[in-house]
Amino acid sequence: MRKRRRRWVLGGAVLLVVALVGGGLWHYLDRPDDPIHETAAADAAKKVDQILFRFEHDHLYQADKYVHSASQDPDVAVLSVTGETHWGTGVTVVLRVMGHGLEIGADGSVIDERDEPICFRLQLGPDDDSRDDDIECPVDDPLQVTQDPSLDGVDDRLKSALQAAGPDESAVRAAIDDLKLDPAIVPEVTAKDGRVGVALRAAQYDCILARVTAKGAELWRPAHTQLAPGELPCATWVALSSNFGKGPR
């Protein structure tokens, strides 16, 4: 009688394991608690929060703009996108985000750490926005997206170069060339009425305007809201106009 019961218990255990494997739950039996994965997913989720904030802050609504913006983060790859616009078809974006995971001991020391890819599905419109965190990552290769150049660290170098050049268009152009900026940043230089206007634009919201007169050089970075579509362009005519240096209205 005891032998039969043991066989039944053993058989039941085997059936349970088979059921768990078939239901995709063996992963949780194998790793019931994975603090590195959990913290990596939480870290990646914060990066997605920042991406969604940028979407809203930059007034994005087109699929290609979502893809371009998200791909500027070095820890983010866009795996797929469907749809055209937020309010029309709605847009679905799948992201693979590198999250940094940690396992912390009881004494606060780091036991182990590693980076893990965590995937997210963003549904943007047409009625409501939603997201699915820590989904199974598709095997698709990331979409290839050009990285924007940056004007970080350029301000002081540019002002010093323009101060030395003075209000001379040729000297200003030479001074900017000497800065060896990213080739993707194409400077615009215009001379008018004894003044020289300069516009450097790296991206929609990354712009430096400068005005060089006999009194020296002035630099201005327009506010984010001023560079939104339909507002001020990053152009030399703005640098030479009465709008130069003024805050948002």
Helices (H), the chain: 2-22, 26-30, 35-57, 63-71, 155-165, 169-178, 236-239
Question: pTM of the full predicted structure?
Answer: 0.77
C-alpha–C-alpha distance, residues 242 and 54, integer Å: 30
What sign for the dihedral angle of Cα 40, 43, 49, 51?
negative
C-alpha–C-alpha distance, residues 175 and 229, integer Å: 30
Confidence of residue 247 (pLDDT cuts 50, 70, 90): confident
Q: 63-71 and 35-57 are packed helices; what angle lies between their axes, rounded to 10 degrees?
A: 130
User: Is the pLDDT reported for residue 11 higher than 90?
Assistant: no
The percentage of residues in the chain with a pLDDT greater than 90, rounded to a whole number, is: 78
Q: What pLDDT shows up at residue 110?
A: 84
For residues 47-61, average pLDDT: 96
> What mean pLDDT value characterizes the chain?
88
Say which residue, 31 or 117, is predicted with more confidence. Answer: 117
CB atoms within 10 A of CB 187: 18
Q: What pLDDT shows up at residue 30?
A: 39
Q: By C-alpha distance, which of 99, 106, 94 is closest to 75?
A: 99
User: Is the pLDDT reported for residue 12 higher than 60?
Assistant: no
74-101: pLDDT as tens digits: 999 999 999 999 999 999 999 999 999 9
For residues 124-150, average pLDDT: 95
Q: What pLDDT shows up at residue 131?
A: 97
User: Is the pLDDT reported for residue 25 higher than 80?
Assistant: no
User: Is the pLDDT reported for residue 50 higher than 50?
Assistant: yes
User: Is the pLDDT reported for residue 3 higher than 50?
Assistant: no
Name residues whose C-beta falls within 8 Å of residue 244's C-beta, 6 or more positions apart in sequence: 209, 211, 218, 220, 238
